[in-house]
Amino acid sequence: MGNVVVYPNPVIDNNFRIVFPESVTDSQIVIYDFTGKTVYSGSFKSNLKINSELVFIFSVRTDEGKFHKKIIVK
């Protein structure tokens, strides 16, 4: 699954954006902390906020496939 953009990375002010290709019609987002604990699970929102200064694993499942990315929150 290409063209998924997560920015900024590192995350500043606890806010980041997710941009999907126009062809994606359905998505499920899960964000894990470094211990594997789920800190967010839900449907797509263009802006998400994380209230922590850590490294997270961002996982997206869409109708086009799966995408993983490490995000850093400062």
**Domain residue extents for the chain:** 5-72
Q: What distance in Å separates the CA atoms of residue 36 and residue 22, rounded to the nearest whole number?
A: 30
Query: 5-72 — its CATH code?
Result: 2.60.40.10
Average pLDDT (40-58) is: 73
pTM of the shown model: 0.70
pLDDT confidence of residue 31: 84
Q: What distance in Å separates the CA atoms of residue 70 and residue 22, rounded to the nearest whole number?
A: 23
Work out the pLDDT band at 11, boundaries 50, 70, 90.
Answer: confident
**H-run or E-run covering 58:** strand 55-62
pLDDT confidence of residue 74: 78
| pLDDT tens digits, one per residue of 17-39 | 778 777 777 788 888 888 888 88
Question: What's the whole-number average pLDDT of the chain?
Answer: 79
Structure tokens at 30: 């899960």
Residue with the two structure tokens 């499942």: 61
